[in-house]
């Protein structure tokens, strides 16, 4: 399919030509084949979208999320929690134990649909369903393929539910790595967190990882993770993971709220990736990550939501306000924090997919882009693009989402191949049954 988006403003996020006005984009197959202001004939294209009074940007990337948490919306009967471990025991570890394969599939469908409506075209997911592990990743992959997006998938290995479930988690990860043939899906090895993983389990996983696949793990989200590592292993979480080779250039370390100066140095030395999840950290009262120190150390830091939302623009804004509080400076961090979403998430995706086609709009890049309903009330130019993104576009409505060169969402409606109401109806039925099992 050939698609023309015409008469529009384009924020390319390409440093050589950040802003194009009154311009056109041509999409062929999965790639952008033309950007410029040459007059093009509508008749030569299968779909033509008039982008007048709109802004086109690269699609958002969510660098850490949990599709399976979709069915937690509106749930009742959960005991109040005084700390993070109680949050896990009272809520998430009750929910994930009750997931069936169909729940996993529909959780992924609904999470991805919400992401598409909010302009997310690439997701880095971390899954857990300890009593329905086998084939859980292929079910999620089916949802990813049906929705037409890109995703990184893994299963969360943990010792917390016993040896048999741990073994099944290991098998699910490595089976999916071997079987996955979809270039739009990247497999990582999922690990829960240091405090639910023994040395013996880590040794077993690393020994199986002969092809050096990256890991995706929660790191020092709560202080209890650090206390556990110090009491059991006389070391920090990061030091412990680095000893096993788990901190590496393809590994995502989610959160890192409570890491030390030395931990930051270790992550930098091993070229690891940190993903910041500000709304989740606030909700769980685990602290405010010192993101500016991580960036100053030279670490690649991205932005995720931990499934709290798919509104990546708002997540970026909250991350910025939190650093103002953390650093006690209302003027700090503007460039650094905006780069998490607008630059670093693309670097993470390019690293995992081993390409350079994410995150900017140029000829030859992936046709993963969004059209935002944004007719600026103040001048928009090369010098103030970031100001408009943070204080305007971040809250603008996503009118169109295109992923892999395919229109998924247009004029605030899903394309016909995505039956939102049927999916939502069946999801409500599944969620009700899930809640009754909890």
Q: Identify which of 70, 76, 74, 69 has the alpha carbon closest to the alpha carbon of residue 438.
A: 76
Last residue of a domain, one of 353, 375, 405: 353
Residues 45 and 70 grouped into a single domain: no
What is the SS3 assignment for 337-396? HHHHHHHHHHHHHHHHHCCCCCCCCCCCCECCEEEECCCCCCCCCCCCHHHHHHHCHHHC
Q: 235: helix, coil or strand?
A: coil
Q: Is residue 437 part of a domain?
A: no
Is 426 part of any domain?
A: no
Is 81 part of any domain?
yes
Q: Which of 349, 346, 343 is nearest to 389 (CA)?
A: 343
Residue 414 CA, distance from chain mean position: 21
β-strand 273-276 against 252-255: which pairing, if any?
parallel
Residue at 435 is within a domain: no
One domain for residues 333 and 408 = no
What pLDDT shows up at residue 17?
Answer: 83
DSSP single-letter state for residue 89 = I
Annotate 41-57 with b (16+ C-beta within 10 A) or e (fewer): eeeebeebbebeebbbb
Report d(CA 91, CA 69) in Å as an integer.
10
Q: How far apart are CA 113 and CA 56, in angstroms?
A: 20
Residues 181 and 86 in one domain: yes
Domain of 232?
60-353
Taking the CA atoms of 210, 245, 170 and 125 in sequence, report the sign of the dihedral they define: negative
User: Last residue of some domain: 300, 318, 353?
Assistant: 353
For the cut 90, the answer to whether the pLDDT of residue 349 exceeds it is: yes
Whether residues 22 and 112 fall in one domain: no
Is 97 exposed, middle or buried, given 0-12, 13-18 or 19+ CB atoms closer than 10 A?
middle
| Confidence bin at 15 (pLDDT 50/70/90) | confident
Q: Do residue 150 and residue 54 come from a single domain?
A: no
146 within some domain: yes
Residue with tokens 């103030």: 384
Could you tell me if 70 and 50 lie in one domain? no
User: Tens digit of pLDDT for each residue in 231-267?
Assistant: 999 999 999 999 999 999 999 999 999 999 999 999 9
In the chain the first and final C-alpha atoms are separated, in Å, by 46
Look up the CATH number of the domain holding residue 199. Answer: 3.20.20.140
pTM, two decimal places: 0.97
* 419 falls within a domain: no
Do both 348 and 361 map to the same domain?
no
324 and 403, same domain (yes or no): no
CA distances from 83 to 49, 72, 90, 221, 304 (A): 50, 19, 10, 12, 22
Q: How confident is the model at residue 16 (pLDDT cuts 50, 70, 90)?
A: confident
Counting the structural domains of the chain, the total is: 2
- Judge if 210 and 81 occupy the same domain: yes
Q: What does the H/E/C string look like for 188-230?
A: CEEEEEHHHCCHHHHHHHHHHCCCCCCEEEEECCCHHHHHHHH
For residue 144, tell me if it sits in a domain.
yes
Calpha distance 128→65 (Å, rounded): 12
| Residue 331 and residue 182 share a domain | yes
Residue 430 lies in a domain: no
High-pLDDT (> 70) share of the chain, %: 100
Q: What CATH number does the domain containing 377 carry? A: 2.30.40.10
3-state secondary structure of 70: helix
Identify the pLDDT of residue 307. Answer: 97
Query: Three-state SS for 399?
Result: strand
Same domain, 362 and 345: no
Region 290-316: mean pLDDT is 98
How far apart are the C-alpha atoms of 115 and 311, rounded to whole Å? 8
Q: Of 335, 353, 371, which closes a domain?
A: 353
Share of the chain above pLDDT 90, in %: 99
Tokens for 41, please give them.
């004939």
Q: Over the stretch 175-228, which tens digit does the pLDDT of each residue have?
A: 999 999 999 999 999 999 999 999 999 999 999 999 999 999 999 999 999 999
Q: Please tell me what DSSP assigns to residue 53.
A: T
**pLDDT tens for residues 129-167?**
999 999 999 999 999 999 999 999 999 999 999 999 999
- What would the pLDDT profile of 49-67 be if each residue is shown by its tens digit? 999 999 999 999 999 999 9
- Average pLDDT (355-370) is 98
Distances (CA, A) of 331 to 312, 339, 414: 21, 16, 40
The reply to whether 170 and 260 lie within a common domain is: yes
What is the overall mean pLDDT for the chain? 97
pLDDT score recorded for residue 390? 97
């Amino acid at each position: 399919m050939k698609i023309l988006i015409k008469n529009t403003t384009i924020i390319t996020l390409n440093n050589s030509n950040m802003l194009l006005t009154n311009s056109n984009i041509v999409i062929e197959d999965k790639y952008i084949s033309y950007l410029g202001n040459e007059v093009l004939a509508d008749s030569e294209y299968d779909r033509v979208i008039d982008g007048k009074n709109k802004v086109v940007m690269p699609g958002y990337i969510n660098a850490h999320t949990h599709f399976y948490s979709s069915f937690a919306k509106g749930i009742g009967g959960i005991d109040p929690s005084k700390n993070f471990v109680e949050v896990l025991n009272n809520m998430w570890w009750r929910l994930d134990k009750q997931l069936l394969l169909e729940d996993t599939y529909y959780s992924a469908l609904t999470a991805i649909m919400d992401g598409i409506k909010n302009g997310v075209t690439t997701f880095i997911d971390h899954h857990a369903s300890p009593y329905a592990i086998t084939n859980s990743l292929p079910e999620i992959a089916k949802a990813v393929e049906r929705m037409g997006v890109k995703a990184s998938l893994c299963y969360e290995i943990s010792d917390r539910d016993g040896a048999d479930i741990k073994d099944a988690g290991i098998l699910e990860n490595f089976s999916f790595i071997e079987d996955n043939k979809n270039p739009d899906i990247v497999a990582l090895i999922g690990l829960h967190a240091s405090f639910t993983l023994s040395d013996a389990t880590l040794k077993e996983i690393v020994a199986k990882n002969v092809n050096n696949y990256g890991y995706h793990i929660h790191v020092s989200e709560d202080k209890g993770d650090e206390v556990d590592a110090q009491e059991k292993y006389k070391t920090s979480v990061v030091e412990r993971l680095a000893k096993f080779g788990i901190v590496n250039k393809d590994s995502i370390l989610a959160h890192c709220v409570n890491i030390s100066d030395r931990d930051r140095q270790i992550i930098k030395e091993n070229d690891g990736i940190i993903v910041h999840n500000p709304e989740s950290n606030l909700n769980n009262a685990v602290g405010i990550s010192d993101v500016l120190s991580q960036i100053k150390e030279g670490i690649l830091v991205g932005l995720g939501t931990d499934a709290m939302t798919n509104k990546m623009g708002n997540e970026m804004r909250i991350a910025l306000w939190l650093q103002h509080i953390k650093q006690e400076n209302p003027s700090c961090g503007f460039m650094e924090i905006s780069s998490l979403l607008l630059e670093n998430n693309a670097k993470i995706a390019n690293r995992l997919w081993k390409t350079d086609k994410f995150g900017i709009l140029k000829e030859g890049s992936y046709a993963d882009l969004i059209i935002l309903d944004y007719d600026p009330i103040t001048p928009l130019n090369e010098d103030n693009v970031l100001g408009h993104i943070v204080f305007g576009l971040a809250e603008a409505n996503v009118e169109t989402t295109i992923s892999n060169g395919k229109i998924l969402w247009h004029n605030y409606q899903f394309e016909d191949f995505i039956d939102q109401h049927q999916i939502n109806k069946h999801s409500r039925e599944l969620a009700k049954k899930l809640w009754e099992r909890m």
